[in-house]
Structure 1
Amino acid sequence: MSDAYDNTLELNFDVLPGELEKFRLRVREFAQDVVAPRVQDLDAAPADDFDWDMVTQGHSIGLTRVAIPRDYGGLGFGMLGAAVALEEVATVCAGTALIFGAAMLGQAPVLLSGDPRLQARFLPLFSGDAPVLACNAVTEEEAGCDLIIPDNAVHARDVMTARRDGDHYVLNGRKRFITNAQVANFASVFANMEGFPGATGLTSFMVPLDLPGVVRGPVADKLGYRLCLGSELTFENVRIPAENMIGDEGDGMAINIAQSNMARASVAGISTGVARGALALAIDWCDTRVQGGRPLREHQFTAAKLAEMTSKVDAARLLYLRAAHKVDNELPAPQYEPAVAKYFADRVAIDVADLAMSLAGARGYLKSFGLEKRLRDAYGARIYEGTPEVLALAITESLYDEERA
């Protein structure tokens, strides 16, 4: 055996570095002690019901500022910390995880900007005594994927507009399906500069949502992720200072791609959490349910399903940990690893929840068991931050990228 490799070095994929491991355990305690007792009632509540107390308790342990650098009052754990934390919360409730995940996404363009003045103005606001939430306003009625695929930009239709007016920009348009829009203090908003076809002049702005002309629409009544609120944002001649522009005019497409490459690792963490929660229910059920004189887990068909489920959950976690680590250590954030992690984990969430349902039988079909909610939630991540089709394009593009080869 070659001595070129020091096999005494330990690669431990189960314990995170120092303070991050302690943070993960605090988040796990929050998920189990604060979120879990409320989930069933909140999931069944009217679509516009929102638990500010739960969010406040999550804020108190740092879930609204995980990725913000310590210089600006954040925890400084980057995307690795965000992904790990969101897995813990999503193991109990994906919707609660997305409240905090959407807030992080709203912060992402400012983090990516590298502009110390912009960062100093906005990032410390998320570290006060009371929770401050953000949202990321990209999607529109006629424009979704066209705002993230550069070759599609010219074909985008009816995109929200921005017009320069002295030392301000004037925004007009409507955004749809925006998580946290109903409760956020700020939105990172993407609008196309007037005079540019499609979305070829896409530009990003940080917009306080208490400005005149901002209208929050009704909350959508969703299949899953019911604990986070998704709604419309309408902008009617909203004037924002030019200093609120992120980057330069026309940088919006690049910023949107970069923030997606950042966020996909954390969304993969959410999907991994959904799968892990479903797996935990299945493990407990198969240990206590007796058929043919033996616990279900001792039957070959059941054992095969449990083995498949746990293998997929572990693989999904390893993929998102790799992706998040690369996002935190490479500039620009890579496209391939986050896309692969999300592509895989999103499918795993659905597959594992479905297999758990087949093992639980009639019990799994009951709301009180907690599994049918996880199955509903499992489908959500296939929509936001890249559908399987968009992710497949990103992955395949990377496979043929000469620089990657």
Structure 2
Amino acid sequence: MTTAPTLTAPSATAPTLSDLHALDAAAMPSIFTLPEDVALLRDEVREFARTRLRPRVLDNDLAAADDFDWDIVRAGHELGLLRLTIPKELGGRGVGVLGVAVAMEELAAVCASTALIFGASMLGATAVLFSGDPQLQARFIPPFLGDEPVLACNAVTEEVAGCDLLIPAHAADAAEVMTARRDGDHFVLNGIKRFITNGKVAQWATVFANLEGYPGATGMTVFVVPLDNPGVVRGAVADKMGYRACLGTTLEFHDVRVPEENIVFGEANGWGYLNVQSNQARTIVAAISTGVARGAFDIAKDWAGERVQGGKPLSEQQFTARKLAEMAAKVEASRLLYLQAAYQAENMLPAPVFGAAVAKLFADRAAIEVAEEAMSIVGARGYCREYGLEKLVRESFGARIYEGTPEVLALAITDSLYGRRQ
């Protein structure tokens, strides 16, 4: 009788799918070779995920919905993950969209929740960094450079305005319920934001609100709001199916006064920024989905190489080999699409909406398909929590919801094809 192998983390000796890229890098076309600094960052984050993150994944996933692992955030902060996108002249690492996306894939291959914690914080800080406003940067960026970790969040989604903010090609057709009313040299914010990642633990938020009297989202304005301001209420944490280690919560704003100097990009200029931000966010989510798919693939690959049935490993049996090949192809294609989208965004190339939407649409679907196939290959052990695969299956579904559902992405893609948006 053949003893069934134990299902563990991917082998440290056998090459993973990502390792294959480094086996013959010198012979590969330059378009597929990461810049040296990005490759070094990838290796740093991969080692962090393997040694520091993986041992905590199961406990964090099984913890209560409102538990938060500040220790792993602190460890990531020591690595520099919270200052990746901060320019070097401000004390950060000066990493662009490409490097961030690659780092998020590495984290997500082990724990998508952790990738989302760091990714959402970077997204929240992006507006201040993009603004080029010295006073905003002097007030809100230094905490990211201190000894203790500080998180930000990005408050866009509302009870009745999630996809309604992303579907329309024009601001007048978009739904924005949260309001901002001028009162002297301040604005008074009222409204409720939903499912805000890091909302429970962030120090401040980038908040999108519509100026009173403007139709649709034509008055959308971006505010930086410290979450200890009077009138801000952090609501209950959502008890989610996946991404359980990152906290998504409601943020309520009841007559919250914000000084006008906390406006980013000026009054009624938030719609354009939201679309730029959305392209970057979709690219990052595509990278996270790629990481989830890769994590599931590596588990299935190791299992199929060790599990013997009918006298030979599953990996040598035609039916399983075909599955593994198709899974590998989906991971590879997902990676190439998000790398292309990241390159477009970082270099301000044409058609960023199209590239980011295509990357996310494909990678999100690939993550679900690869995770499900991995479960079918591994079988009963994969269905048990202690092996980690069922977590990846749960998390594979999450990315299809945030930063654009498949339907929203399809509209963005076809709008681009017909010239309705770029």
Deviation at 1:11, TM superposition (A): 2.1
Distance in 1 between the 2:163 and 2:268 partners? 17
- 2:85 matched to 1:71? no
- 2:127 matched to 1:109? yes
SS at match of 1:278: helix
Distance in 1 between the 2:112 and 2:225 partners? 27
SS at match of 2:217: coil
Change in Cα spacing, 1:322 to 1:91, as seen in structure 2 (3 Å) is same
Deviation at 1:200, TM superposition (A): 2.7
Q: Is the 8 A contact 1:72 1:120 kept in 2?
A: no
Distance in 2 between the 1:192 and 1:333 partners? 27
| Structure 1 match to 2:142 | 124
SS at match of 2:161: coil
Change in Cα spacing, 1:356 to 1:342, as seen in structure 2 (3 Å) is same
Among residues 266, 272, 282, which one is paired with 1:248 in the alignment? 266
Distance in 1 between the 2:106 and 2:383 partners? 24
- 2:327 matched to 1:309? yes
Q: Say which is worse superposed, 390-399 or 9-18, in terms of deviation.
A: 9-18
Deviation at 1:361, TM superposition (A): 1.2
Q: Say which is worse superposed, 312-321 or 199-208, in terms of deviation.
A: 199-208
| Structure 2 match to 1:61 | 79
Deviation at 1:117, TM superposition (A): 3.5
Distance in 1 between the 2:381 and 2:421 partners? 51
Distance in 1 between the 2:161 and 2:103 partners? 31
Q: Is the 8 A contact 1:327 1:333 kept in 2?
A: no
Among residues 360, 364, 369, which one is paired with 1:351 in the alignment? 369
Q: Percent identity?
A: 63
- 2:119 matched to 1:140? no
What pairs with 1:188-337 in structure 2 (closer than 5 Å)? 188-330=206-348, 334-337=352-355
Q: Deviations 1:142-192 (Å, cap 9, x if unpaired)?
A: 111222334575566671110111111111111000000000011000111
Among residues 90, 93, 100, which one is paired with 1:82 in the alignment? 100
Q: Is the 8 A contact 1:132 1:184 kept in 2?
A: yes
Deviation at 1:114, TM superposition (A): 3.6
- 2:387 matched to 1:369? yes
Distance in 1 between the 2:419 and 2:193 partners? 33
Change in Cα spacing, 1:105 to 1:160, as seen in structure 2 (3 Å) is same
| Structure 1 match to 2:4 | none
SS at match of 1:383: coil
Deviation at 1:124, TM superposition (A): 3.1
| Structure 1 match to 2:41 | 23
Supply the AA of the counterpart residue of 1:142.
V
Among residues 151, 156, 162, which one is paired with 2:180 in the alignment? 162
SS at match of 1:215: strand
- Structure 1: runs of 5+ lacking an equivalent: 1-7
Supply the AA of the counterpart residue of 1:51.
D
Q: Is the 8 A contact 1:264 1:385 kept in 2?
A: yes
Q: Deviations 1:363-386 (Å, cap 9, x if unpaired)?
A: 111111211100000011111111
Supply the AA of the counterpart residue of 1:95.
S
Distance in 2 between the 1:403 and 1:139 partners? 22
| Structure 2 match to 1:5 | none
SS at match of 1:204: strand
Q: Deviations 1:185-232 (Å, cap 9, x if unpaired)?
A: 110001111122333311110111111111100111000000100000
Distance in 2 between the 1:125 and 1:79 partners? 22
- TM-score, normalised by the number of residues in structure 1: 0.94
Among residues 68, 72, 75, which one is paired with 1:50 in the alignment? 68
Distance in 1 between the 2:332 and 2:126 partners? 28
Supply the AA of the counterpart residue of 2:270.
G
- 2:116 matched to 1:98? yes
Deviation at 1:394, TM superposition (A): 1.2
Q: Say which is worse superposed, 157-166 or 370-379, in terms of deviation.
A: 157-166
Deviation at 1:244, TM superposition (A): 0.5
- Structure 2: runs of 5+ lacking an equivalent: 1-25
- Kindly tell me the number of residue pairs found equivalent between the two proteins: 397
Distance in 2 between the 1:280 and 1:10 partners? 23
| Structure 2 match to 1:4 | none
Supply the AA of the counterpart residue of 1:183.
V
Q: Say which is worse superposed, 211-220 or 120-129, in terms of deviation.
A: 120-129
- TM-score, normalised by the number of residues in structure 2: 0.90
Q: Deviations 1:266-287 (Å, cap 9, x if unpaired)?
A: 1111000000000000001101
Distance in 2 between the 1:385 and 1:338 partners? 11
| Structure 2 match to 1:37 | 55
Change in Cα spacing, 1:375 to 1:9, as seen in structure 2 (3 Å) is closer
SS at match of 2:194: strand
Supply the AA of the counterpart residue of 1:110.
V
Distance in 1 between the 2:264 and 2:89 partners? 20
Q: Say which is worse superposed, 372-381 or 145-154, in terms of deviation.
A: 145-154
Distance in 1 between the 2:196 and 2:160 partners? 14
Supply the AA of the counterpart residue of 2:179.
T
SS at match of 1:335: helix
Distance in 2 between the 1:199 and 1:146 partners? 10
Deviation at 1:402, TM superposition (A): 8.7
Supply the AA of the counterpart residue of 2:108.
A
| Structure 2 match to 1:392 | 410
Change in Cα spacing, 1:377 to 1:207, as seen in structure 2 (3 Å) is same
Distance in 1 between the 2:407 and 2:383 partners? 30
